[in-house]
Structure 1
Amino acid sequence: MKTQIEQNGIVTLTPEVANGLSNSEMWNDDLRPTTLSEHSWKGLNFATLWIGMCLCIPAYTMASGMISLGMNWWQAIGTIFLGNVIVLIPILLNSHAGTKFGIPYPVFARLWFGSKGAHIPALARAIVAAGWFGINTWIGTTAIDTLLSASFSAWANLTGHTAIVFAVFWALNVVVAYKGPQAIKVLGLIATPVVGISAIILLIWAFTHSGGWGPILSTPSKFNTAGEFFKVFFPALTGVIAFWATLALNIPDFCRYAKSQKSQMIAQSFSLPITMSIFSFIGIAVTSATVVIFGSALWDPVQLLAKFPPFVIFLGTLVIVIASLTINVGANIVAPARAIENLNPKRITFGLGALITGLFAILMQPWYIMENFGNYIFGWLGTYGALLGPIDGIAIADYWLVRRRQMALNELYDPNGRYSYLSGFNKNGVYALIIGVAIPVLGLFIPGLHFLWDNAWTFGLFISIAAYTFLMKGDKSVLQPGEYEQITSFKNSTSDSLTDSVENMNVDLY
C-alpha cells in the first residue's frame, strides 16, 4: 500500500493516510508533515533568517573576547569563520531531513529515540533555548533601557523602569513567536535590511570620523609560539561552534517549509559563515575607531549609541529591538515551544508552547544569571554543549548512515509503529547518548584528557555517530531493501494533474 508521495525530493502523506492519522495522539496541525503548498520558503527566506539572527549584539561583540585573550583581529575573524563553517555541516545534514519529509525537530527525534524517548533530546534542546531566551530578552531590555535613559532624563528617575521595559519586550517576543514560524519568515525579511544597512552606516561613520581604522586593527597577536595560540584557539573555536549548535538540532523546524533542498543549502551555506564573519569584523573595526574618537574601546554598541544625539539614539533603539527580537524568536522560542507541544499534541498548541517557554524563561530569572554572565555562558550553557553534540551525532548517524534518508513517514505518528520501539524508547539512542557524553566528561577528572572536555561538542558528536551506527546494525525499525519503493508513490513533474489534485486534497484535509 502506498502511504506517501515523493515529488521532486519532497515527501508528503497520501490523503487517506493523513486522514487516518488525524486522530492520533501524536498528531496535531503544528507537528504534522507539511504539504507541498507549504514548502514555500525560497533561498531568500533562509538567507534573511540567518542574516537577521546573526546581526545581533552577541555576534557584534564575539571577537572582543578573543582579542582580549591575545588574538589579533584576523585571527579572531578566522576563528569565527572556521567555527561557523564547521557548525554549518550538521546544520545542512539535519536540514535535509526537515526539507524532504516536512517534519519538525520533535517528530524527527522520534525516529532515533522513539515516540516517548523523543522527549529527551527535545527537552534538552528546549532548556538551553529557554535559558538563551531569558538572556537575550534581558540583553535587549538593558539595551533599550539604557538608550531610553540617555534620551529622556525622566525615564531614568521612573521607579521600576527596567522592569517595565522587560515586561514589554518579553511580551513582544512571545506575541511574535505565538504567530508561528511563518511570522518569523516575515520578521526576517524586515530585520535583514534594517539591521544590515544600519551596520554599514555605523562602519562608514567609524572610518570617516577616526581617519582610518584605529589601533586595534594594527595591534599584533600576543602569542609568541604556536602552542600558546592553540591553547586559546581550540576553546574559542568550540565557543563559536556552540553559538549555533542549538540551531543545528532544530533546523528542521524551519527547513520543513523549504521549497527545495538546493535553495535552502545554498542560502544557508553562504549566509551563516559570511554574515557572522562580516558582522564580527564590523564590531572590531568600529570598536577600533572608538579608541581614536572617544579615547577608549567601546565593544558594547549600546554604550556607543548612548554618545550620539537623541534622534540617533532613538533609531539605534529600534535597530537593537529588531535585532534582539529576530534572534530571540528564531533561535530561542521555536525549539522549546515545539518540544512542549510534543508532550501532548492534542492539548498543547505551538502558541501555548511559546507562552510556556516565555514563562519558564522568567522563572530562570535572567537578571540574576547575568550578574555572573561569564560562569553561566561558559559553565552551565557550555556544559550543555557536551549534551547537544552527541544528540546531533545521533540525528546525523540515524538519517544518513543507518536509514540512508528513507523512512515510513506515517509511522512517526503511530503510537504502535516501528519508530515506537520498545515501550516508546529506542535503547540504542539512549546508550549512544550516554557514551557520547561520558567520554568527554572524563576530561574533567583526568588532567591528561582535558582536551576532550575543551572540545566536548566535537568529540561527543563523532563518538555518538560511531556508537549509534554500530548499535543500530540490523535494527527492525530500518526499512528493508525495496520497502521504501513499495510504500512510496513517485511523481516527477510539479505540473502533473494527479499531483495537483492530491495536493489540493492535502490542503483541504489539513
Structure 2
Amino acid sequence: MTTTETIRSAEKERDALVEESILPTLLGQRLIGMLGYAWIWVGIAVIIATYSLGAAGIGGGIPLASVILTIALANLAIGAFMVLTADIGTEHGLSFAVYLRAPFGVYGTHLPAMSRGLVAAMWFGIQTYLGALALNGIGQYFLGFDNWFVWYVAFAIVQVVNTASGIKSVERLASLAAPAIIAISVWMYFTLEGVARTKGVNIWTYQATGEMSLLVLFIANMGFWSTLAIDIPNLTRFLKVPSGERKFFKRNRNIFLAQLIALPVTQALIAGLGAVSFIAAGNWNPVEVIQGQGQGLSLVLLLALVVLAQWSTNNSANLIPSALTFVNLAPRIINYRIAVVLAGIVGTLCFPWEILNNLFVFLGYYGAFLSAIGGIMVADYYILRRRRINVPDLYKLDGQFRYAGGFNPAGLFAWFVAGGIAAWYSQYAFLIGFPLGIVLYLLLMHALVLRSNPQQEIESGYSDDFLATSLGKSWVYLGHGQFERMTEAEAHGSEIGREDL
C-alpha cells in the first residue's frame, strides 16, 4: 500500500478521539489565500447585530466619530489576539476543540469547547432570524406571502447544506458576498445621512444624553468577537502558509490583512451605520429604516444583500466552529456533515429573537467565560509549551493529556474562577478574564499538575520534534493512533482531499 493509500485509509478510522474532520490538516490541504481569507472576514463582520453596537454608543451619549474610532480600536485589539491563537492552526493544523485537550484534558475539553459551540449555534440562530426577516420582505414584494417563520426554517436549511459542502464553498460565497456588502453599505450610509439631513440633523455633531463610557463600549466590542478569537484555528488550519518558515510574522502573513485591517475597518463602518441609523430615525436597524423609505427593486436588492451578509457570516463564524465541537464530543457517531445539521437545529431552536433583545447581557456573560479560555490558550501554547505540541497524544486516551481521568484540574479550575470573576464584573469581562486565566493556569500547572503529569514537549527542552509547519512538515495520521511528521512530498498532500472539509 502506498503512503497516500495508507493515509486515506487511516483517515476513515473513527474512535473516541479520532474523526476525519478533526485530524490535523496537511500543508497540501490548506487552500485559502490572503485575499480569500480577508473576504471571509469582511463577510463575517457585516452582520445586523453589529448595527446595535454603534447605536448603543450613540444612545449612550458618545459622538459618532468617537463611536467609530472606539469600535475600530477594540476590533484591532481583538484582531491582534486572534493573530496569536491563529498560529495553532497555521503551525499544527489543529482545530480549536482538539487543541483544548492540551490545557483541559481529553475529556475536559468538552466543557469549554461545547460552551463555545453552543454560543456559535445561538449566533447562527440570530443571524438566520435576521436574514429570514429580510427574506420575508422579498416574499411580500414578489409573492404577497407574509410568514417569516417559513423563511426562517428554509434559510436555515439552505445554510446548513452550503456549509456541509466544505470550506471552499464557504470561501466562494464570501468572495461573492463581501464586495456586494461593501457597495450596499456605502449606499446605506448616504441614504441614512440624507434622512438625517431632511430632519435638520448633522450626524457628526449629534450627541444624545446618555452616559455610556468609552471603556464599556470598547470592552463590549471586544466581547463581540471573543468567540472567534479563541476558535480561530478552525479557520486558519485551512489557510495557505509558507512551508518551513520559522519566523512568526512571515509564517502568518496571510492572516494580517484579515485580522488587522478587514475586521476592524469593516466592523467600525458597519457599527457606524447603526449609529447613523439611530441618529436619523431613532432605530438602530438601518434595514428597517430603509425599508420604510425604499420601494421597488432597490428595496428588494437591499434585502437580498442583507440575506447574503447573514449567510456569509453564519458559514464560517458559526456553523463550522459549532459543528467541529459536536464532532469532538462524539467522533464515533458524529461526522462533520451530521454535526453541521445538529448545529443548525440547536441554533434554530434557541429563540434568537429573545437573545437579540438582550444582546449586551448575552455578550457580557459569554464573553467573560470565553475570555478566560483565551487566556488559558495563550498561556498554554506560548508560555508553557512555547508553541510545541505533542500532537499524537492529543488523539490518545492514555497519553499525556489524560491528566486525572481525562480532566486537567488546572485548566478547569482556572477557567471556572477567571470566567466567574469576569462574569461578576461583566462590563469589564475581557480585561479581567483574559489576564486572570493566564496567571491562574500557569500557577496551577506548575503547582499541581506538571510533576505528576510530565509533558514531553516541555521535558524535551522544547525540541523541534514538536513543531510542524515551521519545519516544512505536517502531522500525518497513519492509523491505529500513529502519527508521523512528513513533508508535503512525502505525504503526497496535494493528492489527498478530505471529503468533509
Counterpart selection for 1:60 from 28, 51, 59: 51
How do residues 204-353 of structure 1 correspond to structure 2 at under 5 angstroms?
Answer: 204-205=190-191, 215-221=201-207, 232-260=213-241, 261-285=252-276, 290=280, 299-353=285-339
Q: Which residue of 1 aligns with 2:167?
A: 181
2: CA distance between counterparts of 1:20 and 1:484? 27
Q: 1:214–1:115: structure 2 CA closer, same or farther, 3 Å change rule?
A: farther
Task: Please report how far the alpha carbon of residue 20 of structure 1 lies from its aligned counterpart in structure 2 after TM superposition.
Answer: 9.7
Extract unaligned runs of 5+ from structure 2.
Answer: 242-251, 474-485
Task: Please report how far the alpha carbon of residue 67 of structure 1 lies from its aligned counterpart in structure 2 after TM superposition.
Answer: 0.6
CA contact (8 A) 1:129 1:333 kept: yes
CA deviations 1:15-55 (Å, max 9, x no partner) are 78995995653112100011111122211122101101112
Q: 1:361–1:281: structure 2 CA closer, same or farther, 3 Å change rule?
A: closer
Task: Please report how far the alpha carbon of residue 478 of structure 1 lies from its aligned counterpart in structure 2 after TM superposition.
Answer: 5.0
Task: Please report how far the alpha carbon of residue 148 of structure 1 lies from its aligned counterpart in structure 2 after TM superposition.
Answer: 3.4
CA contact (8 A) 1:432 1:467 kept: yes
CA deviations 1:357-409 (Å, max 9, x no partner) are 11112332334x26xx433x233443122211111111111001110100122
Q: Which residue of 2 aligns with 1:477?
A: 455
2: CA distance between counterparts of 1:491 and 1:453? 39
Q: 1:63–1:464: structure 2 CA closer, same or farther, 3 Å change rule?
A: same
CA contact (8 A) 1:202 1:286 kept: no
Q: 1:440–1:315: structure 2 CA closer, same or farther, 3 Å change rule?
A: closer
Task: Please report how far the alpha carbon of residue 236 of structure 1 lies from its aligned counterpart in structure 2 after TM superposition.
Answer: 1.9
CA deviations 1:448-487 (Å, max 9, x no partner) are xxxx332123201110101111222245125224463356
1: CA distance between counterparts of 2:363 and 2:269? 25
2: CA distance between counterparts of 1:236 and 1:111? 34
CA contact (8 A) 1:73 1:216 kept: no
1: CA distance between counterparts of 2:466 and 2:77? 36
Q: 1:269–1:394: structure 2 CA closer, same or farther, 3 Å change rule?
A: same
1: CA distance between counterparts of 2:44 and 2:469? 37
Task: Please report how far the alpha carbon of residue 303 of structure 1 lies from its aligned counterpart in structure 2 after TM superposition.
Answer: 3.2
2: CA distance between counterparts of 1:31 and 1:240? 30
2: CA distance between counterparts of 1:113 and 1:489? 22
Query: Which residue type is aligned with residue 484 of structure 1?
Result: S
Deviates most, 32-41 or 181-190: 181-190
How do residues 142-157 of structure 1 correspond to structure 2 at under 5 angstroms?
Answer: 142-149=133-140, 151-152=141-142, 154-156=144-146
Q: Which residue of 2 aligns with 1:74?
A: 65
2: CA distance between counterparts of 1:490 and 1:128? 31
2: CA distance between counterparts of 1:509 and 1:166? 33
Q: Which residue of 1 aligns with 2:75?
A: 84
Counterpart selection for 2:386 from 392, 395, 404: 404
State the SS of the aligned residue for 1:40. Answer: coil
CA deviations 1:149-185 (Å, max 9, x no partner) are 3x258324xxxx2222112111112112222333211
Query: Which residue type is aligned with residue 155 of structure 1?
Result: F
Query: Which residue type is aligned with residue 95 of structure 2?
Result: P
Counterpart selection for 1:387 from 362, 369, 391: 369
2: CA distance between counterparts of 1:277 and 1:490? 34
User: TM-score if structure 2 supplies the norm length?
Assistant: 0.84
Q: 1:346–1:435: structure 2 CA closer, same or farther, 3 Å change rule?
A: same
Extract unaligned runs of 5+ from structure 1.
Answer: 1-12, 444-451
1: CA distance between counterparts of 2:324 and 2:472? 33
Q: 1:80–1:491: structure 2 CA closer, same or farther, 3 Å change rule?
A: closer
User: TM-score if structure 1 supplies the norm length?
Assistant: 0.83
2: CA distance between counterparts of 1:389 and 1:491? 28
CA RMSD, 1 decimal = 3.0
Q: 1:28–1:506: structure 2 CA closer, same or farther, 3 Å change rule?
A: farther
CA contact (8 A) 2:55 2:276 kept: no
Q: 1:401–1:491: structure 2 CA closer, same or farther, 3 Å change rule?
A: closer
| Structure 2 residue 482 is matched with structure 1 residue 502 | no
Q: 1:143–1:417: structure 2 CA closer, same or farther, 3 Å change rule?
A: same
CA deviations 1:210-254 (Å, max 9, x no partner) are 77996242435457xxxx96x532222221111111111111000
Q: 1:393–1:45: structure 2 CA closer, same or farther, 3 Å change rule?
A: same
Task: Please report how far the alpha carbon of residue 127 of structure 1 lies from its aligned counterpart in structure 2 after TM superposition.
Answer: 1.6
Deviates most, 17-26 or 420-429: 17-26
CA deviations 1:248-294 (Å, max 9, x no partner) are 11110000011121111343211111111123334445665x56xxx
State the SS of the aligned residue for 1:37. Answer: helix
Q: 1:31–1:489: structure 2 CA closer, same or farther, 3 Å change rule?
A: closer
Q: Which residue of 1 aligns with 2:115?
A: 124
Task: Please report how far the alpha carbon of residue 188 of structure 1 lies from its aligned counterpart in structure 2 after TM superposition.
Answer: 0.9
CA contact (8 A) 1:146 1:306 kept: no
2: CA distance between counterparts of 1:378 and 1:490? 39
2: CA distance between counterparts of 1:303 and 1:490? 49
Q: Which residue of 1 aligns with 2:184?
A: 198
Task: Please report how far the alpha carbon of residue 434 of structure 1 lies from its aligned counterpart in structure 2 after TM superposition.
Answer: 2.0
Q: Which residue of 1 aligns with 2:357?
A: 374
Q: Which residue of 2 aligns with 1:446?
A: none
Counterpart selection for 2:29 from 14, 19, 38: 38
CA contact (8 A) 1:214 1:285 kept: no
Q: Which residue of 2 aligns with 1:10?
A: none
